[in-house]
C-alpha cells in the first residue's frame, strides 16, 4: 500500500515556481511508492498511512484533524517556531504522531534532491516498520 506524503508548503511553492525541479520531483515520486498529498488532494482513508515531511503549521492543522486510526509519521525537518496559540497547535500535532523519522541534512527552506530523499525516506520507513 502506498504511503501518502505531505511535503512542506515551502517546498511545494518552490516546486510550483521551478518547472525543472518540479518535473524531477514528479518523476521521482512516480518511481517511488509514495503518493503525493497536494492542494487538490486525494482523500485519505482512516486506515491510510501519512508521512508528513516537516511538521509546519499547515501540516499540524491537518494532523490534529485526522482520525485516530490513521497512522501519521513525521519526518523531522527544521521549521520556524511561531508565536501564540499556533505553537500549542504544533504541540498537539506532535502528540498525535505515531512516530518520528529522521533524515539528516534536510531543511524546510528548499526541497532536497528528490530521488535520494525519497530513497532515504523509504529506507527510514521500511527500517522502522
Nearer to other proteins, 17 or 126 (CB): 17
Sign of CA dihedral 98, 104, 107, 111: negative
Any contact of residue 79 with other proteins (CB under 8 A)? yes
Give pairs for 58-65: CB < 8 Å, separation 24+.
Answer: 58/8, 58/9, 59/6, 59/8, 59/93, 60/86, 60/89, 60/90, 60/92, 60/93, 61/89, 61/93, 62/6, 63/93, 63/96, 63/97, 64/89, 64/92, 64/93, 64/96
Any contact of residue 22 with other proteins (CB under 8 A)? yes
Any contact of residue 37 with other proteins (CB under 8 A)? yes
Looking at residues 42 to 71 of the shown chain, list those that interact with other proteins (rule: CB under 8 A).
43-44, 46, 56-63, 65-67
Shortest separation between residue 127's beta carbon and other proteins, angstroms: 27
Of 78-86, 94-102, 116-124, the window that binds other proteins (rule: CB under 8 A) is 78-86
Which residues lie near other proteins (CB under 8 A)? 6, 8-19, 22-23, 25-26, 36-41, 43-44, 46, 56-63, 65-67, 79-80, 82-86, 89, 108
Amino acid at each position: 500500500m502506498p504511503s501518502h506524503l505531505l511535503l512542506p508548503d515551502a517546498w511545494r511553492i518552490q516546486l510550483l515556481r521551478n518547472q525543472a525541479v518540479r518535473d524531477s520531483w514528479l518523476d521521482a515520486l512516480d518511481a517511488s511508492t509514495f503518493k503525493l498529498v497536494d492542494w487538490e488532494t486525494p482523500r485519505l482513508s482512516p486506515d491510510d498511512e501519512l508521512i508528513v515531511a516537516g511538521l509546519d503549521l499547515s501540516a499540524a492543522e491537518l494532523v490534529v484533524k485526522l482520525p485516530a486510526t490513521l497512522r501519521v509519521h513525521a519526518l523531522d525537518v527544521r521549521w520556524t517556531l511561531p508565536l501564540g496559540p499556533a505553537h500549542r497547535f504544533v504541540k498537539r500535532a506532535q502528540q498525535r504522531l505515531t512516530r518520528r523519522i529522521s533524515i539528516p541534512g534536510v531543511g524546510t527552506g528548499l526541497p532536497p534532491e528528490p530521488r535520494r530523499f525519497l530513497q532515504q525516506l523509504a529506507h527510514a520507513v521500511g527500517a522502522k516498520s
